[in-house]
């Protein structure tokens, strides 16, 4: 037998083996039984056919990741389903009634206090940063892509009426935000470094009468907060920045990743003081910039605004409404408007999640209620102001329900960009991209502090905080350059799960909240 004949025989055997292997794999994927699939996959991994091993492993891994992602997605849909949204909004409604609507009645006082010169100083009480800086740092974490992309998504999926339900959820979210921030300041501690450490985990540990329950809830909150900080507060935001810059300005994602990573590390290495300094400048500037651009778009389409507002309220409360004119072919019901509006409202302002309370604990103040009022305005600025600007710009522009060149309905940031382009032309797309970039980057900074303090609580010391800061910065690059839907869905679940202990805590301490806010009325009447 010649050498060439031997090569031919070996090649034939190899092809036969590969075909057998592929046939087996394809058969596995057609089976509905998980037991059959798992057993067959085990056999494939245990005795791989030479020449086909890499293909087996690669396809097997893909299959397993797809199955895992499906499971995580289903869990994500469940935890952020109706029960969770009812719990979040329901807690806000209960607290609003329990506090005799004082957060609503004193909203004017809160806004005045926020904009006062005193709020920018550290002359009253103890703390690490000024009351205004504590607010802007919290806003840095909440004013993000949800204000641009989230609003558009809600209006496409739930109709323009979703905007009304965002307002309703924000109204009761104001009380939730007040409650969690006030309690965080009341039960905060000073760590070994001399810095304030506070948040729902400290409230649960020190404030709840059942100490065992308090310790368990505190640990769960801190753990899920750390997980959420790397996902929702880090990778998703970095990916949004890199994608937006690449789509609009053709910046390579790796370049964006490197720049954002370096900037993040340079800022967060200094802790809350450096973060608050940047946030106190960036957050107001970016918010004012975006609001002005949005108002230009609204006034540019002012003739359409009355019909746009009419459609918003009509589709918010109609059993089944079909949009027309300014809303294109949008079909929605009151339930879908409620679902998407409440969900996006909660995602945007994070009222009831407990994250903002961590930052509030660093504020210089002589009374927890006073700072609670200042921090609760974050929900007002985030949803009532910024989200409303996005919603009205979309509603008055006539782009809702329209399609792109391929015939696909515009969604997400494309809707907002199209709305801004109706008045500002191509510059509208640039402005929205800049807005997404600034909003998302500020969210990274704000969430770093939230995660760091939760990390500090888990380990019981501040000594490992620098490790967290460096790790957090490096993960930013991963988020910019990789599409990790599994990680994002898992962190989204963590974001929901951190809210549950916080809501339980606020409900158990509702009497204390009502008592403290009532006592502070004397200070307001002076």
Handedness of CA 468, 471, 477, 481 (dihedral sign): negative
CA angle 388, 392, 398 (to 5 degrees): 155
Helix, strand or coil, per DSSP, at residue 246: helix
Q: Please state the separation of Cα 386 from the chain's center in Å.
A: 15
- What per-residue confidence (pLDDT) applies to 320? 62
| Residues 490, 229: Cα–Cα separation, whole Å | 12
Computed over every residue of the chain, the mean pLDDT equals 82
Residue 244 and residue 434 in contact, taking contact as beta carbons nearer than 8 Å:
no
60: confidence class by pLDDT, cuts 50, 70, 90:
low
- What per-residue confidence (pLDDT) applies to 24? 52
| Residues 23, 476: Cα–Cα separation, whole Å | 41
195: confidence class by pLDDT, cuts 50, 70, 90:
confident
| Residues 467, 477: Cα–Cα separation, whole Å | 16
Handedness of CA 162, 164, 170, 175 (dihedral sign): negative
The fraction of the chain above a pLDDT of 90, given in percent, is: 35
- What per-residue confidence (pLDDT) applies to 266? 92
pLDDT in tens, 421-434: 989 988 888 988 89
Q: What is the pTM of this model?
A: 0.82
| Residues 283, 99: Cα–Cα separation, whole Å | 30
């Amino acid at each position: 037998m010649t050498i060439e004949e031997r090569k031919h025989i070996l090649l034939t055997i190899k092809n036969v083996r590969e075909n057998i292997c592929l046939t087996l794999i394809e058969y596995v994927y057609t089976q509905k039984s998980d037991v059959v699939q798992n057993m067959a996959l085990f056999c494939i991994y245990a005795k791989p056919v030479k020449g086909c091993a890499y293909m087996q492993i690669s396809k097997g891994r893909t299959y397993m990741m797809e199955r895992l992602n499906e499971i995580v997605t289903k869990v994500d849909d469940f935890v952020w389903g109706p029960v969770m949204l009812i719990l979040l909004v329901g807690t806000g409604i209960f607290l609003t009634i329990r506090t005799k609507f004082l957060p609503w009645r004193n909203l004017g006082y809160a806004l005045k206090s926020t904009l006062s010169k005193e709020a920018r100083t550290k002359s009253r009480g103890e703390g690490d940063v000024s009351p205004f800086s504590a607010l802007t740092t919290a806003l840095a974490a909440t004013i993000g892509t949800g204000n641009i992309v989230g609003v558009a998504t809600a209006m496409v999926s739930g109709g323009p009426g979703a905007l009304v339900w965002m307002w309703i959820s924000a109204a009761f979210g104001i009380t939730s935000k007040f409650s969690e921030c006030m309690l965080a300041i009341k039960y905060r501690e000073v760590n070994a470094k001399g810095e304030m450490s506070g948040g729902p985990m400290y409230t649960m540990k020190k404030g709840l009468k059942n100490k065992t329950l308090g310790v368990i809830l505190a640990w769960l909150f801190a753990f899920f907060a750390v997980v959420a900080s790397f996902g929702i507060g880090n990778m998703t935001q970095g990916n949004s920045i890199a994608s937006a810059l690449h789509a609009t300005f053709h910046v390579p994602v790796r370049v964006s990743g490197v720049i954002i990573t370096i900037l993040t590390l340079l800022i967060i290495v200094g802790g809350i003081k450096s973060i608050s300094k940047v946030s106190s400048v960036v957050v107001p500037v970016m918010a004012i910039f975006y609001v002005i651009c949005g108002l230009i778009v609204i006034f540019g389409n002012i003739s359409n605004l009355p019909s746009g507002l009419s459609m918003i309220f009509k589709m918010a409360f109609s059993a089944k409404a079909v949009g027309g004119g300014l809303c294109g072919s949008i079909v929605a019901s009151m339930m879908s408007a409620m679902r998407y509006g409440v969900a996006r409202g909660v995602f945007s302002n994070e009222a009831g999640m407990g994250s903002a309370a961590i930052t509030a604990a660093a504020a210089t103040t002589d009374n927890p209620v006073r700072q609670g009022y200042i921090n609760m305005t974050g929900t007002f600025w985030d949803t009532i102001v910024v989200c409303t600007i996005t919603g009205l710009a979309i509603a008055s522009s006539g782009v809702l329900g329209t399609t792109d060149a391929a015939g696909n309905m515009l969604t997400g940031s494309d809707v907002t960009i199209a709305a801004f382009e109706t008045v500002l032309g191509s510059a509208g797309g640039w402005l929205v991209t800049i807005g997404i970039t600034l909003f998302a980057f500020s969210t990274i900074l704000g969430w770093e502090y939230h995660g760091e303090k939760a990390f500090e609580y888990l380990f019981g010391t501040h000594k490992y905080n620098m490790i967290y800061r460096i790790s957090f910065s490096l993960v930013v690059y991963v988020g910019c350059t990789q599409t990790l839907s599994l990680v994002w869905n898992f962190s989204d679940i963590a974001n929901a799960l951190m809210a549950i202990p916080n809501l339980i805590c606020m409900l158990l301490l509702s009497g204390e909240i009502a008592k403290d806010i009532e006592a502070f009325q004397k200070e307001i009447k002076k």
